[in-house]
Amino acid sequence: MMLDIYDINYEFCSEKLGNLNFPPDTLPKKGILLRILSLFKGIMKYNFRKDNGKLIEPNSTLFFVMAQNEINSVKPVITNVPNAVLFGLDNYKNGYPLGRIYFLSIFFIPVVFYRYFICSDLYHKRSYQYAFDGFCLAYASHIILKKYLNKIKPSAIIIANQLSCYHRCLAIVAKNLSINTIYIQHASVTENFSNLNVFSAALLEGEDSLVKYQRNGTINADLFLIGMPKFDQYFSMIKKNGKINSIGICTNGIDDLKSYDKLIEFFSLKLPNFKIILRPHPSDRRKEEWYQISRKYNCTFSDASKVESFKFFDDVNLIIAGDSNIHLEATLLNISCIYFDPLKSNVDWYGFALNKLVYYSTRIDEIHNHILRISDLSFNARQRAKYYVDTINTNFDGQSSKLAAKIIRKDFANIFFDIIIDDYGNKIYRIKQTK
């Protein structure tokens, strides 16, 4: 059976997800030759890393992460799981074999070229310009990970991303080896995401993500609604009072620079006593341009690669952003949010405007008037997040990481949950509303 390299590279091959239609700045460098060169760069980068001399022991629980936001999602859970190992960006002597995967991948370049020439799907054909290396890595991962997992024999693998080739290939191989493979949500999702059928079970934040995964074809899975583990350590920091005098402006990789430049200029003139903090998304390749805008208007710059979002919230009491998960994280701390849509695209990627989590506006003057109207914090802001974070107002509010650990360890009691089986054969576990 031919390996489904397109499904493994869902991030760039799904026309429904549509990542190839995003601005070039948000995508990998384009070109088959450049993608091949990136494989050789990976060989040099990952085959000469020094290990720490430590070994991953058999029956360890592996938490697989390849980015900082994934680390933030699983870090609170790891402390509650015995024999837990942060795996992927590790330096264990027998850690994730990324160097070997990159080395073997170059031998699949002819195979991927053959797949390119016989490909008749136009979107898939286009994806080779961005994911040629990912296709080679998929073949190599499939071979190496099977031998690797059989050797280290983990008791379970927790994966905090469902779209990239690294995560999907590991999930597929592990599940085929009957290893307990659990997905843990690290950010808000859309209906365009892949289903969860490559996993044994999933730890979801709430009803919103559950409904979206049901609609996109997830079947016969154990789906637990556990809230947001990375929020737990900030539960005591929920804002209770205070005037709005500090605004966090959070941008993503597809936001229009000029529109936000105008917004910040307007605030610098109309709200001179307000503190303005500009925080671009860590994956945005225009970091320097955003930094220059912050200097231009003498506002504070928050580096998302160094400061976690919940720590950033300490300094703000209102958030303005476009399509960003930052809205949900802020609302959990009872911070009101404004969805700024200057180009009137009305995408509402996560349904935050539709579900009344945020105040939606396309105009700067309208946003200004709204800020003046809500000079005090909205004390009911947090309740709006209940649809997205199931543990709000339950006994596990602020205890999601402990709940996740119980599920991973398989020592949870069904009395915690209301359990149903949906029309797709999924077993749904909802926290009992007992608080």
Distance CA 378, CA 335 (A): 7
137-141, 377-381, 397-401: segment of lowest average pLDDT? 377-381
**Residue 269 CB partners (closer than 8 Å, separation 6+):** none
Q: Residue 152: its pLDDT value, please?
A: 95
User: What are the backbone dihedrals phi and psi of residue 155, each rounded to the nearest 5 degrees, phi first?
Assistant: -80, -30
Q: Does the pLDDT at position 378 exceed 60?
A: no
Residue 203: which pLDDT band, with cuts at 50, 70 and 90?
very high
Q: Does the pLDDT at position 376 exceed 80?
A: no
The proportion of the chain whose per-residue pLDDT surpasses 90, expressed as a percent, equals 79
Is the Cβ–Cβ distance between 221 and 204 less than 8 Å? no
Residue 435: which pLDDT band, with cuts at 50, 70 and 90?
low
Architecture of domain 236-386: 3-Layer(aba) Sandwich (3.40)
Nearest to residue 335, comparing CAs of 352, 318, 355? 318
Domain with CATH 3.40.50.12580 in the chain: 236-386
Nearest to residue 62, comparing CAs of 104, 92, 38? 92
Distance CA 174, CA 187 (A): 23
Per the model's pLDDT, the better-predicted residue between 49 and 185 turns out to be 185
Distance CA 131, CA 239 (A): 44
Q: Residue 311: its pLDDT value, please?
A: 85
Q: Residue 375: its pLDDT value, please?
A: 65
83-92, 409-418, 424-433: segment of lowest average pLDDT? 409-418
Q: Residue 72: its pLDDT value, please?
A: 87
Q: Residue 49: its pLDDT value, please?
A: 78
Residue 207: which pLDDT band, with cuts at 50, 70 and 90?
very high
pLDDT tens-digit series, residues 41-88: 999 999 887 777 789 999 999 999 998 889 988 999 999 999 999 999
pLDDT tens-digit series, residues 75-124: 999 999 999 999 998 888 889 999 999 999 999 999 999 999 999 999 99
Average pLDDT score over residue span 178-184 = 97
Tell me the torsion sign for CA atoms 142, 145, 151, 157.
Answer: negative
Distance CA 282, CA 287 (A): 8
pTM above 0.75, yes or no: yes
pLDDT tens-digit series, residues 140-173: 999 999 999 999 999 999 999 999 999 999 999 9
